[in-house]
Homo-oligomer: A and B are copies of this chain.
């Protein structure tokens, strides 16, 4: 299962084509809609007021409620665009945004309106594609779930990596702000509201688990390696700047005698510091990882920048509607990328 996302924020439509979809997967359109709803903005005071209908139309690859095995096209029409909000972007490069590098990369031909192809809106088709992948994985007993591990340094309780609370995932799947510790979640939300008030934004981390993957998938090379497959899918998610499997960066501070996960009959491992992958191959333990999201670059506070026209210094004051934090809306996006990665890993990774 591979995907190609197309579309610009203020063009006619965005969408995705999924190739190499296994045939016969029951496609629950209400489920896809619910997943899109989890990502959609405008549901509470924590995100931008832009209302996106995000109605996904399946164009192909599904017949009588099941995947056919041929490319599955999904279309989401764009509505509620305020293109004029973005006129300033033709000239002033937003710091921490791709505006200026994209201007060089695409020779100035890119659609700048609303961030164009770089808009966070392009994660909607990713969530739709991920929903199809999740439906496929569920048939095989594989579950994907994530929680907000931190916002602006405020941590949630850590996930048990050897035995993630997947039964809670159904709950997460319906909440707007999935944390393991309710009080931590409240503190995070307070922080987000405070940032909004101050015209600022804040980053965070998302922890994710994929359970049910059998031992023995993947291999130690560039393209069929469990870690490289997940890394490729996750770093393709906008605003992700870090990724660690299992105990990740903390492993770099540990001794082998503590970091090594002892094998016990099963076989499985007692702990899961390696996050379910050894040598690029699944261990049969939950595949767990954590990703870091930078703070939303679009903030209302005045920012120093340069003009893309004159090259001279200027000040950017952004109007429009912006998220003070994307992390909670990114939870289904991370799950989608993980589901697509898990599907690719199951099918043997890239070939040829």
Residues of A in contact with B (beta carbons under 8 Å apart): 2-8, 11-15, 17, 19-20, 23-24, 57-61, 63, 66-73, 75, 93, 95-98, 100-102, 104-107, 109-111, 116-118, 122, 150, 152-153, 195, 200-205, 215-225, 227-228, 231-236, 238, 240-249, 251-257, 259-267, 269-270, 273-275, 278-284, 292-299, 301, 303-306, 311-313, 344, 347-352
Contacts and interface: CB of A to CB of B under 8 A. Distances in A.
A265 B205 contact: no
A236 B37 CA distance: 35
19 contacts: A6-B73, A7-B73, A11-B59, A14-B59, A23-B106, A100-B215, A104-B281, A105-B218, A118-B279, A203-B253, A232-B232, A241-B249, A242-B251, A252-B294, A259-B294, A259-B295, A264-B304, A265-B312, A344-B352
A203 to B, nearest CB: 4
A202 B7 CA distance: 42
A162 B107 CA distance: 25
B242 A105 contact: no
B252 A292 contact: yes
A95 B249 contact: no
B256 A299 contact: yes
Given A69-B109, A116-B70, A351 B2 contact: yes
Given A96-B278, A350-B352, 18 more contacts: A8-B61, A12-B58, A20-B224, A24-B107, A63-B110, A68-B106, A70-B111, A70-B116, A70-B117, A104-B216, A201-B255, A202-B254, A203-B253, A241-B246, A242-B245, A259-B295, A265-B312, A273-B294
A176 to B, nearest CB: 20
Nearest to A350: B352
B311 A102 contact: no
Best-surrounded residue of A215, A262, A312 (most CB of chain B within 10 A): A262
Task: Give the copy number.
Answer: 4
B60 A261 contact: no
A111 B254 contact: no
A280 B110 CA distance: 15
Contact of A221 (B5, B224, B262): B5
Given A235-B228, A252-B294, A295-B256, A75 B96 contact: no
Given A96-B259, A255-B201, A255-B295, A236 B280 contact: yes
Given A60-B13, A228-B231, A95 B294 contact: no
Contacts of A205: 249, 252
B153 A253 contact: yes
A351 B20 CA distance: 8
Contacts of A295: 251, 254-256, 259-260
Contacts of A98: 220, 278-281
